[in-house]
Amino acid sequence: MRKHVKLWLVVAVVVALVAAGCSSDGSGSSRGASSTRTTTVSQLDGTINVSDAASLTEAFGKIGRDFTAANARATVTFNPGSSGTLALQIQQTNGAGIDTFASADEENMNKLVAARLIDGAPRIFAKNKLIIVTKPGNPKHVRTLADLAGLGTVSLCGPTVPCGTYAAQVLRAAGVTIPETKVTRGLDVKATLAAVTTGDADAAIVYVTDAATAGRTVGSVTIPDPQNAIATYPIATLRSSASRATSQAFIDYVMSSRGQATLRSFGFLAPS
């Protein structure tokens, strides 16, 4: 009899776990990879939640600290991810919980403008370029984009993630085709970079700023300007925001000389 009770307990636990695995595993565990920071929804003016492109994570972290240091009553939290995913989240929830959107491309911002979810006109606050990163010391001797086609595994952003569309442009312009069976797709630029820094991929195409942040954990190979793509970063307040004034103040700070100096220190290019 006691054995039976035990068996049933085991069975109940297993069913519960399997049900969890079936229904939630896909989106549940994936968020861990792109590290959602606190997403406090507050009606109080002074707290804003910024959905920012993954490539902005470090620079916006610094800008957020500086901004709150200058505005003691303001709180800024970030929700970094692929601009495509962030735009989709905003569209599906009509912007609930998010006050500010900073995208790594104009396409995703324009989607939200077309859906009338944006307050006013977006402002371009930074630009960025692409670069090839390799294992430290470049053991596979990558010199050009064409060399990527001969490697074992190359890490690129997903085809709809901005860094993925930029990388596709760059490769097309250079006439290089990497077989899809050698390409592992990151869900945002940080995941794409991690495949080289903490994974076994031979090389990745990421933003210059990511290579700078990764420092000595990667080797880098410059892509010549004529072949390179310029990433354009727009920022805007969402129409649904309950803290539009704070969001606008944050955007003004990003555009100010201090905000721009911070972006430059992380390797971003001037907006114009």
Residues of the shown chain interacting with other proteins in the complex, contacts defined by CB under 8 A: 3-4, 6-7, 10-11, 13-15, 17-19, 21-23, 25-27, 29-30, 32-33, 82, 84-85, 88, 152-153, 155, 158-161, 180-187, 195, 198-201
Tracing tokens 């053991």 back to the chain, one arrives at 139
**Considering only CA atoms, which of 188, 179, 132 is closest in space to residue 160?**
188
Residue 161 or 249: the one with the smaller Cβ distance to other proteins is 161
Task: State the Cα–Cα distance between residues 255 and 269, nearest whole angstrom.
Answer: 13
Residue 4 or 141: the one with the smaller Cβ distance to other proteins is 4
- Rg from Cα positions in the chain: 21
Residue 113 CB, nearest distance to other proteins (Å)?
18
Distance of CA 11 to the CA centre of its chain: 41
Q: What single DSSP character describes residue 50?
A: E
Residue 103 CB, nearest distance to other proteins (Å)?
13
Tracing tokens 């220190």 back to the chain, one arrives at 265
Residue 56 or 204: the one with the smaller Cβ distance to other proteins is 204
Task: State the Cα–Cα distance between residues 103 and 122, nearest whole angstrom.
Answer: 10
Residue 30 CB, nearest distance to other proteins (Å)?
6
Residue 161 or 263: the one with the smaller Cβ distance to other proteins is 161
The answer to whether 49 and 101 are in contact (CB under 8 A) is no
Residue 3 or 272: the one with the smaller Cβ distance to other proteins is 3
Residue 145 CB, nearest distance to other proteins (Å)?
19
Task: State the Cα–Cα distance between residues 224 and 162, nearest whole angstrom.
Answer: 20
Residue 133 CB, nearest distance to other proteins (Å)?
16
Task: State the Cα–Cα distance between residues 238 and 227, nearest whole angstrom.
Answer: 35
